[in-house]
Amino acid sequence: MKRRQFVRRSGLASLAALLGTEIVYGANLPEGLPLLGLQDPDPFKLFDKDPGMTVLNDKPWNIEAKAHLLDDAITPNKFMFIRNNGKIPEGIDLNTWSLTIDGEAVQAPKTYSLEALKSRFPRYTYQLTLECGGNGRSEFNPPAKGNQWTVGAVSCATWTGVRLRDILEDVGITDEAVYIGYHAADTHLSGAPELEPISRGVPIAKALQDETLVAFQMNGKDIPLAHGFPLRLVAGGWPASASGKWLNRLSVRNIVHDGEKMTGSSYRVPCEPVAPGEKVANEDMCIIESMPVKSLITYPKTGATLPLGKALNFRGHAWAGELTVKSMEYSIDFGATWQGCSVKAPANRLAWQRFQGSAQFPKKGYYELWVRATDSQGNAQPMVLPG
Amino acid sequence: MSDKHSFEKSFREVRTMMRMIVLLFLAISGVLLFVLFDPDLSSFQSARPASVVNVQDSLDQGLVDADYDAIENGIHLRTGFVEAEGLMTVVNNCTNCHSAKLVTQNRMTREGWEATIRWMQETQKLWDLGNNEAIILDYLAANYAPEDTGRRANLADIEWYVLEESSD
């Protein structure tokens, strides 16, 4: 990032020096001349991702992991899914980047530089589960519209930043506050400057939680460009689209935020149970808040063969949005019988939990190992996708 | 009037020229800086050779018109679309803003595709498709229709391997 900026600046500077004048159209350059890095045809090098990741879409970039790539307790960047609604911003300047807090429910708008955010408020680090609201969509029947995520649009990295609550207390919000909505530097696919690719948010109660961060680090380093550099809202346990990347403005609203992808069928589900594929009126759709209970076997990779009599040690992660996973079970007979296995406490609230177990097989043959998690309110994973 | 036009014309010419000069200088300073940082061009040698070859391939495709819209095994190589009536109308209208992958990974009925087009027109700046709309809808409904797959498809493409004991 820095080196590319350096290249561009020195290019301008040398030309300016030669002509002895200001480059009038210098400011227009990024428009017709994308950063060299973003032209790289290899997304794995471009975003520093493992070659085993699956590219679902290259305009905009959408990339997911496979189950066995998510075995780490803390997801490294190389295995973290990328979900974009628009174009990744270019030419980010840390010196001029700022975060403005505005909206109907602030006493007065206030703007912070990156430096001010980092120095004025205490820092916190949490491991937070971020799962795309559409993760698992590929199994829906009839099919759901959009990127056909299988199982790999989930991650649990550590995020470091300041509490949104501390910022909002410093700004001063009124009793009218209902929701916060983010605004960011990514740009619309159509190129229309007045359109935002996405502008979502969370209710004020979620915004004020300890773990809701305005983050500037992921896994102890600057947030990678594709994941929101230099600033990202992180609201763990909710659809990851609530965690706005490239954050530059937060509006404290006196209504449920009505930004792009907050309405219609975006990140909303029928409020009441409906038949698969049934058309649902706009007013009967509800915003997805806490994500439902789920688990994923990350070891061994699908396709394992082993000698008869040998136990299969397996493990993975389970998570339950705002809740915790209280028990895990596994089945080797398509759900006819279930046995318990162990599940650890999360590293902190809203982090996924490690489960592990060992399965014995009675005779030679083809088996599928299934696991199911049950959350702290007794909800278990359904055996079929209720699509 | 004509004075104004000729002024605008020369202004545009100067602007174009300025942009060309700036681009040229950027390219030269880019190369110079690259050589400065990496005099033996080692980053070209260590990188995965396969992707270098790919870059060349795609450049070739762009330069040679005949290959640009090449079709192999019924697939339009540049986009991944199925070769069928209406292909180029779809390519020309549906890949300007987003990747063809956003289309080819989806399955919808004709009504579903039409609703998606309306949504793009109402909110995403898609233009009026005119007579092309029927061609596009026919193509999509015929080639990207939903299949009734049942509750859970069987696992597919399993790569069987012998499991060695894990270290973790």
- Which CATH number fits the domain that encloses residue A302? 2.60.40.650
* Higher-scoring residue by pLDDT: A28, A272: A272
Express each pLDDT in A30-55 by its tens digit.
Answer: 443 444 445 557 899 999 999 999 99
Q: Please say if the pLDDT value at position A18 is more than 60.
A: no
Q: CATH code at A177?
A: 3.90.420.10
- If one counts the domains in chain A, the total is 3
Tell me the H-state helices in B64-129. 65-68, 87-94, 101-104, 110-123
Q: Which of A5-9, A61-65, B73-77, B131-135 has the lowest mean pLDDT?
A: A5-9
Instruction: Tell me how far apart the alpha carbons of residues B100 and A57 are, in angstroms, rounded to a whole number.
Output: 8
Under the banding of pLDDT at 50, 70 and 90, the label for residue B38 is very low
The partner residue sitting opposite B161, judged by closest CB among A145, A303, A385, is A303
Residue-wise DSSP of A223-279 = PPGGGTTT-EEE-TTSBGGGS-SSEEEEEEESSS---TTSSTTTTEEESS---TT--
Residue (of A263, A292, A266, A265) closest to A280 by Cα position: A265
Q: Which among A225, A253, A287 is the end of a domain?
A: A287
Q: Which residues of A touch B154 (CB under 8 A)?
A: none
Domain hosting A368: range is: 294-375
Mean pLDDT of A214-218: 98
Burial (Cβ within 10 Å: 0-12, 13-18, ≥19) of residue A59: middle
pLDDT value of position A14: 36
- A42 domain residue, yes or no: no
Looking at chain A, the whole-number percentage of residues with pLDDT higher than 90 is 85
Q: Please report the ipTM that was assigned to this predicted complex.
A: 0.74
pLDDT value of position B56: 31
| Residues A25 and A124 reside in one and the same domain | no
Under the banding of pLDDT at 50, 70 and 90, the label for residue B16 is confident
Q: Which among A270, A287, A304 is the end of a domain?
A: A287
Q: How far is A175 from chain B (nearest CA, A)?
A: 33
| Residues A209 and A339 reside in one and the same domain | no
pLDDT value of position A24: 40
Q: Please say if the pLDDT value at position B94 is more than 50.
A: yes
Q: What is the dihedral of CA A192, A194, A197, A201, to 10 degrees?
A: 180
Q: Which residues of B touch A23 (CB under 8 A)?
A: 18, 22
- A217 domain residue, yes or no: yes
| Residues A178 and A312 reside in one and the same domain | no
Residue (of A179, A163, A172) closest to A117 by Cα position: A163
Instruction: Tell me how far apart the alpha carbons of residues A292 and B49 are, in angstroms, rounded to a whole number.
Output: 44
B18 close contact with A: CB closer than 8 A: yes
- A345 domain residue, yes or no: yes
- A95 domain residue, yes or no: yes
| Residues A136 and A117 reside in one and the same domain | yes
Q: How far is B2 from chain A (nearest CA, A)?
A: 26
Tell me the H-state helices in A174-251. 204-207
Under the banding of pLDDT at 50, 70 and 90, the label for residue A243 is very high
| Residues A181 and A140 reside in one and the same domain | yes
pTM, 2 dp: 0.79
| Residues A220 and A352 reside in one and the same domain | no
Express each pLDDT in A130-164 by its tens digit.
Answer: 999 999 999 998 899 999 999 999 999 999 999 99
* Higher-scoring residue by pLDDT: B167, A104: A104
* Higher-scoring residue by pLDDT: B58, B97: B97
Q: Which residue has the tokens 């859970």?
A: B152
Q: Which residues of A touch B21 (CB under 8 A)?
A: 15
| Residues A354 and A299 reside in one and the same domain | yes
Q: Which residues of A touch B104 (CB under 8 A)?
A: none
| Residues A27 and A93 reside in one and the same domain | no
Express each pLDDT in A76-113 by its tens digit.
Answer: 999 999 999 999 999 999 999 999 999 999 999 999 99
B107 close contact with A: CB closer than 8 A: yes
Residue (of A303, A141, A382, A154) closest to B156 by Cα position: A303
Q: Which residue has the tokens 């699908």?
A: A302
B99 close contact with A: CB closer than 8 A: yes
Under the banding of pLDDT at 50, 70 and 90, the label for residue B31 is low
Strand pairing of A247-253 and A268-270? unpaired
| Residues A166 and A302 reside in one and the same domain | no
Tell me the H-state helices in chain A. 2-19, 29-32, 43-46, 114-120, 164-171, 204-207
- A384 domain residue, yes or no: no
| Residues A117 and A98 reside in one and the same domain | yes
Q: A83 pairs with which residues across the strands?
A: A62
Q: Which among A261, A287, A313 is the end of a domain?
A: A287
| Residues A122 and A232 reside in one and the same domain | yes
Whether residue B33 and residue A14 make contact (CB cut-off 8 A), yes or no, is no
Whether residue B105 and residue A56 make contact (CB cut-off 8 A), yes or no, is yes
Q: Which residues of A touch B30 (CB under 8 A)?
A: 7, 11, 36
Q: Please say if the pLDDT value at position A253 is more than 90.
A: yes
> Residue A260: CB partners within 8 Å, gap ≥ 6?
A85, A195, A196, A197, A198, A199, A200
The partner residue sitting opposite A303, judged by closest CB among B23, B148, B160, is B160
Instruction: Tell me how far apart the alpha carbons of residues A35 and A23 are, in angstroms, rounded to a whole number.
Output: 19
- A96 domain residue, yes or no: yes
- A39 domain residue, yes or no: no
- A386 domain residue, yes or no: no
Highest mean pLDDT (candidates A199-213, A265-279, B10-24, B28-42) = A199-213
Instruction: Tell me how far apart the alpha carbons of residues A230 and A112 are, in angstroms, rounded to a whole number.
Output: 13
Express each pLDDT in B112-161 by its tens digit.
Answer: 999 999 999 999 999 999 999 999 999 999 999 998 777 788 888 899 99
pLDDT value of position B25: 67
The partner residue sitting opposite B51, judged by closest CB among A36, A42, A315, is A42
pLDDT value of position A37: 46
Q: Which two tokens stand for residue A365?
A: 């043959």
Please measure the distance between the N-terminal and C-terminal CA atoms of chain B and give it in whole angstroms. 79
| Residues A9 and A64 reside in one and the same domain | no
Q: Which residue has the tokens 């219609």?
A: A264
Q: A314 pairs with which residues across the strands?
A: A357
pLDDT value of position A161: 98
What is the 8-class DSSP label of residue A9? H
Amino acid letter at A208? L
